[in-house]
Structures are given as C-alpha cells and as structure tokens.
Amino acid sequence: MALVAKENTGLRLAARYAVLVLVALVFAFPLVFMVISSLKPDLQLLQDTGSLRAFLPVGDISLDNYFAAFERAPIGRFMLNSVIVTVVTVVLSIVICSVAAFSFAFLNWRGRGVILSIILATLIIPFETIAIPLLLEVSRLPWLGVEGIEWGWLNTYRVQIIPWIVDALTIFLFVQYFKDLPKELIEAARAEGASWFQVYHKIVMPLSGPVLATAAILKSLKMYNEQYLWPLIVVQDEAHRPIMVGLGYFFQLDVAWGELMAYLTLISVPVLVFYLILQRAFIASIASTGVKG
C-alpha cells in the first residue's frame, strides 16, 4: 500500500509539473518569437511566421538588426531617460505615499476617512480624461532653475516624473499593511517619548519590507510600460524621450520588422531581469521581516 501511495504521489507530481511546464511554454512563446525574429532579415521573418521555423534559429541568422536599430534611433539615450524617470519616480512615490499612508493609518485627524475614500476613487478615472487639462497646466507652470524662473515644464524630466509621484494604489497598499502592524509597538514607542517621525523611520518602515517590494514592483512596471502616451504629448526632443516613444522610429515609411523585434527585445529583456530581481527581493523581505517578542 505504501508503495502504491508513493507511486500515485509521484504521478500527481509529474502531472502537475507537466502542466506547469506547458503553461510556461505558452507564455514563453511570444518572447521566443521576438528574440528569434530579431535575428532574421525582414523577408525571412515574414516567410517563417506561418510555420514552426518562426520559433527556431534557422536560416540567415545575424545581429544586423540590432546594429541597424541603434543607427535608426538613439536607443542608449532612450534607455537612460527611462531609467532616470522610473527610478526617481519610484523612490519619490514610495517616500511620499508611505508618509501619507502613515498619517491615514496612525494619526487621528478629522476627515481622514473621507479624504482616503476620495483618493481611492481616483483609481476609476482613466488617464485619457485628464491628459489634455494636465497638459494645459504643465505647459504654463513655473519652475525655479539654474538660470532663474522658467515657464512651462515641456521637454523636461520633471514633466514625466512629478505628475506620477502620488499614486492612489501605492497609498492604499501602505495603509492596508500599516493597519496590520502591532499597535502595541507604536504605543510603546510613543510612551517612551518617540516622535511620530521616529516611529515612522525606526519602527514602521523597517517592518515594511514586503509592502515596499510590492509597491516598487508595481510602480516600476507601471512607469516603464506606460511611458508612451504622456511623453508623446509633452516631450518633443530626443534628449528627454523615454524608451517607449522610440517605437515610432521603426514605423516610418516602410516598417522595419526585424529592427522592431530587436528594439522590443532590447527594451523587454531588461524589464524581465529587473522584475526577477525585485521578485527575489520580495521573497527575501517576506522571509526576513517579522516582529520578535
């Protein structure tokens, strides 16, 4: 009986892993197609799309599309711009949203429930409905620069960063996590004379590893993937354009499919690696975060 039970357990595990491998292959097919297509000339790429050759590195394979993609668009500059915008926005968003969530979770002030509800209600407003009013505002806002007061934020990093710092979803994540923290720790710290900033900085945030990693992952992916419509409206010079706007360079006149696939590979693989790194940090933060008695 024990041997039969072990065999049944082994069969169930094998079937489970087979299903997981099949699902992983289904999700990996678009990535494999993109990478393989980036190595083929346009004519061969289009001919192979009707067969399994589209997923195989056969035929005229080379890195010519990657070299041509770098000649067609300043990819390095676009990548740097995307990294700057994403990293600065994520850092500022986590700091400001966590402070706001701390006030909602721990401080008693009149109207906090109503204000939090209004903030969460903004999640149902699509960005397209506020894009034009926001454009009109940022085009005439002042900014104190090195050369004095400047009018208008167009063609700058700040116009791509500042409107996205405060995020209702990030605030909500922090509020929900903070409410689950032991209130005894906060009360004990306050009883010993700790200020609210000390409570936030030395007690709450060191215990918030999981929500920090979650907020960083969601905000990073959102900022990186949505750097198209808004930058396309407010940024016209190449010096400040992010990576997504560069897609338009490959649809001018005749579509360069091979170069486009090379470009998509260049902008997708770093995101995948970044996501895996943050995922490992998320798992490590869950394992290391705890409250000791």
Helix, strand, coil shares of the chain, percent, nearest 5, are 75, 5, 25
Q: Compute and round to an integer the Cα radius of gyration of the chain.
A: 25
Confidence of residue 24 (pLDDT cuts 50, 70, 90): confident
Which domains does the chain carry? 1-72+251-263 (no CATH), 75-246 (1.10.3720.10)
Distance, in Å, from the CA atom of 282 to the CA atom of 111, rounded to the nearest integer, reads 34
CA distances (Å), 164 to each of 89, 109, 126, in order? Answer: 7, 26, 14
DSSP 19-75: HHHHHHHHHHHHHHHHHHHTTS-HHHHHHHTTSGGGGS--SS--SHHHHHHHHHS-H
Confidence of residue 151 (pLDDT cuts 50, 70, 90): confident
Span 160-212, pLDDT tens digits: 999 999 989 999 999 999 998 888 888 888 888 888 899 999 899 988 888 88
- The pLDDT value recorded for residue 293 is 40
- The pLDDT value recorded for residue 91 is 93
Q: What is the mean pLDDT of residues 101-110?
A: 90
Residue 172: how many CB atoms within 10 A of its CB? Answer: 18
pLDDT at 29 over 60: yes
Residues β-bridged to residue 144: 149
Span 62-98, pLDDT tens digits: 889 999 888 888 988 998 998 899 999 999 999 999 9
Kindly provide the b/e burial profile for residues 238-269, where b requires at least 16 CB atoms within 10 angstroms of the residue's own CB: eebbbbbbbbebbeeeeebbbbbbbbbbbbee
Read off the DSSP letter of residue 166: S
Span 236-272, pLDDT tens digits: 888 899 988 888 888 776 778 888 889 888 888 777 7
